[in-house]
Amino acid sequence: MRPQVQGVVAEQIEVAIGEIETVPGTVRHLRQLAAEHPEVFFKAAARYLESAPPSASARTLADIVARQDSIFDHLLDPRLCSTKAAVAIFRRLLVVDPTLDFRLARMLPGRNESSPAKAQTAKTLAGSHAARALEILDLTSPGQRLLSVIGHLPNSADARISAKAALFVGRRVSNPAWLEKQLVREDARVRASAIESVWGAKSEAAIRILEECCTDPNNRVAGNALIGLHMAGCPDVNIRAIGMSLADDPGRRSAAAWVMGKIGSPDFVDCLTSLIRDADPRVRSTAVRSLAEIRRTETKRIEIEAERVKTETKPEIVTVVEPVAEPAAEPETFNIRVPTFQRL
């Protein structure tokens, strides 16, 4: 489609989206545009669904989008929307079609199709598309309802799929035995995802595993373990992160800077300021980003605190009621009786 024609069609779609609830026949018109120009329609609809508040119009539009034959192709295409946008849109679509997550999960490689070479059928996702589908499902599909479809994928021969699947499954099984099994895998990405899957866990078993992984030779695994210990409330994590920043390995120092940014404590400012002058460019880059993140977090915290104090110390508005003046007394009236004289 020529760019000029595409622009005209996009404008028609955007106008129609705004008229869903007010102009009769608009829904039928949008369905026709979606069928004739699926990619242009998806782009316009995605912009609306990503940011618009819940409404009858948004629900109707989501229903039209969910019925598109090419909906999964669009959601998984980085040219059409980011992963963040795809997650926001998919949440909207699940409201109108709760089976959509199952439909997407069934497009992932099956138990006999876990290798990339076998995942090339028209209805089977592979590579980056499969990894992105797993990320979308992990952030939108609740509970264990998809484990029967996805539970085998941590064993995929595709490292991208196995890492994303390990995160998905680990967040839902809460099983130390399963976690320890993943931690003996050679692929560091799977080990790192398995550790990330227990972020927020505070059980003795989880903390023991996190402690052990702090010494993992892979920097990402060790960094994820430190963040897990921080989220579990362990008191010495800040000291450990600063200690990691003194390692000889620049990869370890970069991981330490990343951990500091994720934790977001202002206690790390001096250390990160020092790492900005590190000899390794990766360390410097990570330190700059983490320092900026801490400053943003601290600025936001100060603004929230200032607003709270302002609200608490706001002077009480006292309504002064002016006394109502008594009505002026009416002047006394005297009934003067005029004598009458009779004529003699």
Average pLDDT, integer, range 9-28: 85
56-61 LR contacts (CB < 8 Å, sep 24+):
56/20, 56/21, 57/17, 57/18, 57/20, 57/21, 58/92, 59/95, 59/96, 60/20, 60/21, 60/27, 61/17, 61/20, 61/30
Query: Is residue 92 a part of any domain in this protein?
Result: no
Q: Residues 22, 54: one domain? A: yes
Q: Residues 180, 228: one domain? A: yes
Q: Residues 294, 255: one domain? A: yes
pLDDT above 70 covers what percent of the chain?
85
Q: Residues 200, 183: one domain? A: yes
pLDDT value for 338: 44
Q: Residues 273, 286: one domain? A: yes
Query: Is residue 157 a part of any domain in this protein?
Result: yes
Query: Is residue 240 a part of any domain in this protein?
Result: no
Query: Is residue 11 a part of any domain in this protein?
Result: yes
Q: Is the distance from CB of 179 to CB of 170 less than 8 angstroms?
A: yes
pLDDT value for 325: 56
| Residue located via tokens 């590190």 | 278
Query: Is residue 191 a part of any domain in this protein?
Result: yes
Query: What CATH number does the domain containing 257 carry?
Result: 1.25.10.10
pLDDT value for 318: 54
Give alpha helix (H) positions in 147-280.
147-150, 159-173, 176-182, 188-196, 204-213, 219-231, 237-244, 250-263, 269-275
Q: Residues 184, 164: one domain? A: no
Q: Residues 168, 180: one domain? A: no
Q: Residues 255, 230: one domain? A: no
**pLDDT (tens digit, 9 = 90+) per residue, 232-281?**
999 999 999 999 999 999 999 999 999 999 999 999 999 999 999 999 99
Confidence of residue 312 (pLDDT cuts 50, 70, 90): confident
Confidence of residue 153 (pLDDT cuts 50, 70, 90): very high
Query: Is residue 343 a part of any domain in this protein?
Result: no
Structural domain boundaries enclosing 251: 245-309
| Residue located via tokens 């936001």 | 300
For the ranges 48-52, 174-178, 184-188, 252-256, the maximum mean pLDDT occurs at 252-256
Copy the structure tokens of residue 167: 């995160």
Lowest model confidence (mean pLDDT) among 157-166, 235-244, 321-330: 321-330
Q: Residues 158, 191: one domain? A: no
Query: Is residue 116 a part of any domain in this protein?
Result: no
Q: Residues 166, 220: one domain? A: no
pLDDT value for 300: 81
Distance CA 292, CA 298 (A): 10
Q: Structurally, how many domains does the chain consist of?
A: 4
Query: Is residue 224 a part of any domain in this protein?
Result: yes
Whether residue 342 is predicted with pLDDT greater than 50 in this model: the reply is no
- When comparing pLDDT for 29 and 229, which is higher? 229
Q: To the nearest whole number, what is the mean pLDDT of the chain?
A: 86
- When comparing pLDDT for 121 and 94, which is higher? 94
